[in-house]
Structure 1
């Protein structure tokens, strides 16, 4: 994963110390998008929990997450204008979390975003109350799911899994969810995790 460092201005963190920012991460094939969609449906209509729609320099299609698609030029302009609380680059794409989330956090709400393990330091710098949910699965399950996508050869899939770690490195508040079994099982776990955070 290639990341380009960015110099970001110092932010006043006092405005959104009440709420909790939840970042869902995990390797390809772990099913974090599916679990987030399930949780979003479960909490639909709740005013105290918000699921972030990321800004990405990728065309939208049914196979990808629901995101706001923008051009590289527009992304760069938004970034210069301070439109993002956190932004990063990976695999030739640019990702942004809108600064609007700070308004929800200031109200004491729970905000859930799809993130990346590579830039958790940026999330930690931006949000004083940060919770990481790391969605994983057994390596053989990940390999089966990635092969089913048909985008990579078996050799490429196995090499990728051998290189990658399934744990979050660093001093973060992390909960791991094993999504090797049924979606219902993992779905109940992520919903329970979010319910517990709302109840804090």
Structure 2
């Protein structure tokens, strides 16, 4: 039996990286690997544990079919290595830090994926973006506007079979919520 792809999404600054890092040991206990992304951003950038490559190197990797999934967002290219398929084929589960804009394509390739989107209150998001120091004030303003549009559209997500996880509170609360969603989904697919 193949594993389940857990496709975690959320606005920039919603705490995906912190949540993934805090949940990592508990995910491992559940037979779930966290896939490391390849991004056209410097490896020295603050944030997730990703492989930073040049745009030219990313293009070369795409032509070599080194990615199971890849997309563009926020002026960057993102890729999930083909090791994702090896993981799932071996019966292990895999969590990826995905893109909401790429969900439809990901679901076409992995129809049984568990889609989870983080929501975060705008005030909390603003503080997180300021703290991490990656964006300019105008970029933060644009991200806050996109977050509000996202919050306004949450009702449509249930029709798309996307689970919404509020990540505005303490990190431990978010971790418990994430693990609960994963446990319920894995128990359901084991019984189906």
Q: State the TM bucket, normalised to the shorter chain.
A: 0.7 to 0.9
The answer on whether the counterparts of 2:43 and 2:53 sit within 8 Å (CA) in structure 1 is no
> 2:171 aligned to 183, 187, 195, which one?
183
Q: How does 1:57-68 map to 2 (within 5 A)?
A: 57-61=40-44, 63-68=46-51
Distance 2:156 2:57 in 1: 33
TM superposition shift of 1:193:
2.0
What TM-score does the superposition give when structure 1 sets the normalisation length? 0.80
Distance 2:53 2:126 in 1: 31
Other-structure match for 1:79: 62
Classify 1:168/1:75 alpha carbon distance in 2 versus 1 (closer, same or farther; 3 Å).
farther
Structure 1 gap ranges (5+): 1-16
Asked if 1:48 is matched to 2:31, the reply is yes
Moved over 4 A (4+): 168-171
SS in 2 for 1:53: coil
Distance 1:156 1:72 in 2: 22
> 1:106 aligned to 89, 97, 112, which one?
89
Q: How does 1:1-200 map to 2 (within 5 A)?
A: 18-44=2-28, 46=29, 48-61=31-44, 63-150=46-133, 151-153=135-137, 157-164=140-147, 165-166=150-151, 167=154, 172-199=160-187, 200=190
Q: Matched residue pairs, number?
A: 182
SS in 1 for 2:42: coil
* Higher percent of residues as helix: 2
TM superposition shift of 1:47:
7.5
Classify 1:76/1:158 alpha carbon distance in 2 versus 1 (closer, same or farther; 3 Å).
closer
SS in 2 for 1:43: helix
What TM-score does the superposition give when structure 2 sets the normalisation length? 0.83
